[in-house]
Chain A
Amino acid sequence: MMHSIQRIALLLFILALLAAPAAAQDGTTITWSIEGINDVVSLDPAKASDAQGFTVIGLLHAGLVRLNADLLVEPDLAESWSISDDGLTYTFTLREGAAFSDGSPVTAEDVVWSLNHALDPNTGGWTGPYLLSNIAGSDEVVSGEADTLSGVQAVDARTVTITIKQPSAYFLSQLTFGPAKVVSKAAAEASADNLDQASVTSGAFAVQEWNRGQGLVLVPNANYWQPAAQVSRLNIVFNQDSETAYQRFRTGELDIMGGAQNPIPAARVPEVKDSPDFRTTNAFNLRYVAFNNQLAPFDDVRVRQAFAHAVDKVTLADVVLGGTVTAADRILPPGMPGSELPIEPLAFDPDRGKALLAEAGIDPAAFTLTLTYGVEGDNERVVTVLQSMWQENLGITVTLEPLELSTFSARLNDTYQDPANGLQAYYSVWGTIYPDPQYFLSQVLRTGVGNNNPHFSNAEFDALVDEADVIIGDFARRAQLYNQAEQIAVNEVGWLPLFNGQVNVLVRECVQGVAVTGLFSAYVIPDYSALRGCQ
């Protein structure tokens, strides 16, 4: 075995010497790997559908507002805005001289056109209708009754008003996200290809080249309002597999790799964690188990609690997953606004678990749980550990049901539509798109909402989040309410939180100006003019 490996190494060595030297490195080029996709589906902000696509779109297109490195909303194409007293009307003033990459001015008409385009289901995207549904008139556009959004109006060339249906503390956060980016109406109307290929951009970079299935070459957009980035080129490289990206990084080909959903492979963390290139932060995501609340015996809160008490999350996170994740006792990930308020967890206590099961009248020897999951990443290792812990600590039988990802999505949909014939329990993940507690509570655990697959229902929880969702300005008060709601969800095991991911990435030490955040797009470039590549 060793012999043949040495021979292979020798062979590769000879081939490497024969190979032409790599293209001369331009001193100010940054090569940036994006994992988990082999191509972006489109550069039209309204059509992108995954975190990776939105990472690229964030470099190309600007919105009215954007997030800074502290994840607070700051002006982008809009220099200022005001909110009406009832919290329903937002008036944005566009930056004087804001221009697209082709030099044409960014006008209110462009903003109106972009938002209409993003919410029109005929465009082919789903993130616009899904995330911007608070804009007045969105239901009519989504259902096809109206062609344009009544809630978005151009007052004059530099003024846009957006009316929303109900006051929302996180509406501005939603506007920082992909589908709300501004595209050039003139370019889009000239040719649909202009949108798909981002021939004209409103953000810090423009597209020089798109090699389908491989990557993009971006160049700074001199017309962006901020001083241009100090790099001559940004090479975006797609790697379906994170391990492939890691191989390319360690043979010197890449400057940046890893993301929130596709961090560097967990097995590789020990060998890079002391490297100056290694960066890590808590990801705003949560792996959890949910039990079907409408399927006996999980309609009994004691049974759900029994399972919660029987999981040793610290062993799972620190020993099995090698500390590449953080054990979670609550629903809000650490670092999320609102997570600074404490939560009383359901502690690891197998005896308590057994007692609760007995109280609920369950004979462990006769009880079989089927835990369903989509086959992806480390999922199988996690559920195998859960199976072992529950069997050992509760004395029940646990069967694992692995499903191909699309089958899993379909089964979740069935569970939502028809809980009586749905899954008994499943393991999944939730990550936030914008940094607001609402996305982790009201969006998933309020009675009847579209993402509430386990059919968790608690009137007090509903009342608390309903009140918190519409408070504007007073974040301390909102956080209080969400905290009480979260405590209920934890106590009643709406979800059984397991662990939070980490954004483990590699950024060459000499690359400057890139901040790593817990958001699902991971990277924020707070000031493009401070972006520097390696020499």
Chain B
Amino acid sequence: MSERRGGGFWGRLASNRLALAGLIVLVGLALAATFGPGLYGQSAVRLDYAAINSPPTAAHPLGTDSLGRDTLARLLLGLRVSLLVALYVEALNILLGVPLGLLAGYWGGAADFLVSRLADILFAFPGLLLAILVAAIFGPAVTERFGGIGRLLLVAGALSLVSWPLMARLVRSQTLVIREQEYVLAARAAGAGGGHILRQHLLPQIAGLVITSSTLNVAGVVVNEAVLSLLGLGIQPPDPSIGKMITDAIPYLERNALQVFLPSAALLLIVLAVSFLGDGLRDAFDPQTRR
């Protein structure tokens, strides 16, 4: 097991070709989502009655959906929504799940009891009901001030309040192991404070797990947003999201498979890019993993 090269975090990341590819794809997707709709110019919500479920044509390079809306324009705008929601939900998930998991795993005792029982309760709690309540109470006001995306973030935020326990339990399980390792016990015996142990030993070691788990969750977030749309709690029509485009096109799968394939491919691309970049990040945090 030899250290291959130095160059620090970024150097190690850059030397991992798959991770680099993942990063480039993600940056590309983010740029497309940010500037694409403006550059492409076609409306994502304009209906073209003459081109319903149309295959690719000069006017619609990637075809149209069941209302004659331009698929390329919807993909670009949908990427924006889906990437934003995925980033937001994963950030909340990490912000809530990691500290609480560390707390429960490292300190144990009363902290573990409180966090773990809260996690049990939230695991069982029907989050959908909370989403319905929050959308009904705060939805109209939020929609008025921040538009449909505001309501979507509101609902997704409410669901994050009940979805962090899995992350917390993962972190807790890893922390339970690490805190009993010889070097951690040694550091503690040598009088190292909680902060030192957290920075030097805990965070680097749970980073891999957190990255793997949250990169995988990205797919779940994109799909769940589409499921929420089926209940009127997702993106506000007529705006698209990647997941919504898939559910909209599914009834026409056997006649217009391209319209299912394109957003599904976009979803797969996001998941692959995020996962490969995640692997690279994990390795970069941790030079010794590389052989």
Contacts and interface: CB of A to CB of B under 8 A. Distances in A.
A and B touch in the complex (CB under 8 A): yes
A399 B143 CA distance: 10
A14 interface: no
Given A320-B49, A381-B67, A1 B261 contact: yes
A402 B244 CA distance: 14
Given A385-B67, A404-B132, A267 B255 contact: yes
Interface in B17-47: 45-47
A386 to B, nearest CB: 11
A387 B252 CA distance: 23
A382 to B, nearest CB: 10
A407 interface: yes
A207 B255 CA distance: 41
Interface residues of B, number: 25
B185 interface: no
B67 A407 contact: no
Contacts of A375: 229-232
A404 B233 contact: yes
A384 B232 contact: no
A384 B238 contact: yes
Interface in B242-286: 251-252, 254-255, 261
Contacts of A399: 143, 236
Q: Which of A243, A266, A375, A406 has the most CB of B within 10 A?
A: A375
A167 to B, nearest CB: 44
A375 B254 CA distance: 24
Interface in A245-287: 265-267, 270-271
Contacts of A404: 132, 135, 231-233
Nearest to A316: B49
A383 B232 contact: no
B238 A400 contact: yes
B237 A374 contact: no
Contact of A380 (B45, B237, B254): B237
Q: In terms of DSSP, what is the predominant structure of the interface of chain A? A: helix
Nearest to B49: A319
Nearest to A374: B232
B246 to A, nearest CB: 14
Q: Which of B49, B229, B233 has the most CB of A within 10 A?
A: B49
A319 B52 contact: yes
A315 interface: yes
Given A243-B251, A319-B52, A388 B47 contact: yes
Contacts of A383: 237
Contacts, number: 61
A267 B261 contact: no
A9 interface: no
B237 A400 contact: yes
B233 A385 contact: no
B136 interface: yes
A402 B132 contact: no
Contacts of B140: 401
A369 B192 CA distance: 64
A395 to B, nearest CB: 16
Contact of B49 (A315, A401, A402): A315
A8 interface: no
A425 to B, nearest CB: 15
Nearest to B230: A375
A481 B128 CA distance: 49
Contacts of B236: 399-402
Contacts of B52: 319-320
Given A383-B237, A403-B232, A320 B67 contact: yes
A387 B255 contact: no
A304 B125 CA distance: 45
Q: Which of A266, A315, A381, A383 has the most CB of B within 10 A?
A: A381
B251 A267 contact: yes
Nearest to B256: A267
Contacts of A267: 66, 251-252, 255
A319 B48 CA distance: 10
Nearest to B253: A267
A375 B255 CA distance: 24
A384 B261 contact: no
A474 B254 CA distance: 52
A407 B136 contact: yes
B287 to A, nearest CB: 37
Contacts of A320: 47, 49, 52, 67
A384 B233 contact: no
Contacts of B230: 375
A172 B254 CA distance: 47
A319 to B, nearest CB: 5
Contacts of B232: 374-375, 402-404, 407-408
Contacts of B45: 388
Q: Which of A402, A403, A407 has the most CB of B within 10 A?
A: A402
Given A403-B232, A407-B136, A387 B238 contact: yes
A381 B251 contact: no
19 contacts: A266-B251, A267-B251, A320-B49, A320-B52, A375-B230, A381-B66, A383-B237, A384-B67, A384-B238, A385-B67, A387-B238, A388-B238, A401-B236, A402-B236, A404-B232, A404-B233, A406-B132, A407-B135, A407-B136
Interface of B: 45-47, 49, 52, 66-67, 132, 135-136, 140, 143, 229-233, 236-238, 251-252, 254-255, 261
10 nearest A-B pairs in the assembled complex, by CB-CB distance: A402-B232, A375-B232, A267-B251, A404-B231, A404-B232, A388-B47, A384-B238, A319-B49, A403-B232, A400-B237
Given A266-B251, A374-B232, A375-B230, 14 more contacts: A265-B251, A267-B66, A267-B252, A319-B52, A384-B238, A388-B47, A399-B143, A400-B237, A402-B229, A403-B232, A404-B132, A404-B135, A404-B231, A404-B233
